[in-house]
Amino acid sequence: MRPKEIVVVSGKGGTGKTLITALLASASETKVICDCDVEAANLHLLLKPEEVSSQRVRLGMVARVDTGACKGCGRCWKTCRFSAIEERNSRAYVIPELCEGCGVCALVCPRPAIEMVEEETGDVLFGQSEWGEILYAELLPGRGSSGRLVSELKGRARKRAMALGCSWLLVDGPPGLGCPVISAVSGADVVVLVVEASLSGISDAQRLLPLLRRFDVDILGVANKCGISEDLDRQLEGWLEEESIPLVVKIPFSPDIARLYGNAIPPKDLVDISALANRIQ
């Protein structure tokens, strides 16, 4: 049977996605855990996997100029949509951080002096933790292909979960609502929407929801850091109700939870998410 794919997202960063994912991991018997926040992977710091194996992956391309062959005609820098080629000393110069690897410069170069070469994207890591198998990835700083790394990582995690006959594939999603989030959510069965009970937390979740609605997924709500103001709690709950998203777990704001978490200790005894686990089952 295909494992149920559960993706935890929130829009805003630092709302408790990783915490919820970790606690969900402890609540299920058979699962593979996958951290799709490849630009800022944190779950492994909490779950502390052992015997981690790592593999460098190349998923993108980058333009390389042969300055000997380049005549400085300028077609490439005039055509590049990403301002990734400049004129330096009358020759083309590629700014690798901005290059998307589209190959248009190589296409328009009459010499040809530009070659597209594979670029290292990052590392995919795999380890065993007390809580289950975990796959995560570290994007090389500044690389542009985080969405592709997310897809690659999730593909591997899916295969692994299938092979092991797991009932769950648990995914810690990235923040925001761009490419990495789209890659993380696509294929999900259940999305856990973590809403922080703050003005920015609510506003970011509200912006994310229309994107989630484009996918055929069940959405379950978790409210985190509640009790700061009655007003915010009411606003949060009212919104979820309006959107017919069940509020399954409410976690109060507590410096004790934050302190434990800040020391990379999962606050298992302080947060009860069994209702969420049951609901997903």
Partner 1 sequence: MAVRIAVAGGKGGTGKTTLAVGLARAFLSTGEKVSLLDLDVEEPNSHLFLSDLREVNRRQVISSLPAVITEHCVACGRCKEFCHFNAIVVFDKATVLEEFCHRCGGCVLVCPERAIVEKEVVIGEVIKAVGRGLELVSGWLEVGQANPGPVIREVKAEQVAGDWVVLDCPPGSGCAFVESVEGADLLLGVVEDTPFGAHDFRKVVQVARNAGMRIFAVINRYGMGNGDGVKVCEEEEIEILAKVPFSEAAHRALAQGGDPYSVSPDLKGILDWIRDALLERLER
Half-sphere exposure of 224 (CA within 13 A, CB side): 28
Q: 78-107 mask for partner 1 (x: CB under 8 A)?
A: -x-xxx-------------xx-xxxxx--x
Q: Does 14 bind partner 1 (CB under 8 A)?
A: yes
Give how many residues touch ligand SF4 by CB under 6 A: 13
Residue 263 interface partner, choices ligand SF4, partner 1, none, CB cut-off 5-8 Å depending on type: partner 1
Cβ nearer to partner 1, comparing 22 with 161: 22
How far is the C-alpha of 146 from the C-alpha of 135, rounded, in Å? 15
Minimum CB–partner distance for residue 205 and partner 1 (Å): 9
Q: Does 247 bind partner 1 (CB under 8 A)?
A: no
Minimum CB–partner distance for residue 271 and ligand SF4 (Å): 43
Q: Does 110 bind partner 1 (CB under 8 A)?
A: no
Cβ nearer to partner 1, comparing 49 with 174: 174
Structure tokens belonging to residue 223: 């409210």
Tell me, what amino acid is at 67? T
Cβ nearer to partner 1, comparing 228 with 275: 228
Q: Does 59 bind ligand SF4 (CB under 6 A)?
A: no
Bond prior to 112 in cis (omega within 30° of 0): yes
DSSP conformational letter for 94:
E
| Residues 237-276, interacting with ligand SF4 (CB under 6 A) | none
Q: Does 65 bind ligand SF4 (CB under 6 A)?
A: no
CB atoms under 10 Å from CB of 168, counted, come to: 25
Q: Does 85 bind ligand SF4 (CB under 6 A)?
A: yes
Bridge-partner residues for 33, per DSSP? 134, 170
Q: Does 146 bind partner 1 (CB under 8 A)?
A: yes
- Best CA proximity match to 48, nearest among 115, 163, 127, 114: 127
Helix axes 230-242, 199-213, angle to 10 degrees: 10
Q: What is the dihedral of CA 34, 139, 46, 178, to 10 degrees?
A: -60
Q: Does 125 bind ligand SF4 (CB under 6 A)?
A: no
Please count the helices (runs of H) and the strands (runs of E) in the chain.
10, 11
Is residue 115 within 8 A of residue 130, CB to CB? The reply is: no
Residue 144 interface partner, choices ligand SF4, partner 1, none, CB cut-off 5-8 Å depending on type: partner 1
Q: Does 180 bind partner 1 (CB under 8 A)?
A: yes
Q: Show contacts of 271-274: CB within 8 Å, 24+ apart.
A: 271/19, 271/23, 273/20, 273/23, 273/24, 273/27, 273/222, 273/249, 274/27
Half-sphere exposure of 218 (CA within 13 A, CB side): 13
Residue 84 interface partner, choices partner 1, ligand SF4, none, CB cut-off 5-8 Å depending on type: ligand SF4
Which residue of 2, 234, 259, 268 would you call a contact of partner 1, by CB under 8 A? 259
Give the binding site for ligand SF4 (CB under 6 A).
63, 80, 82, 84-85, 94, 99-105
Give the binding site for partner 1 (CB under 8 A).
11-15, 18, 37-42, 45, 61, 79, 81-83, 97-98, 100-104, 107-108, 116, 139, 141-144, 146-147, 174-182, 196-201, 203-204, 207-208, 210-211, 214, 225, 228-229, 231-232, 253, 255, 258-259, 261-264
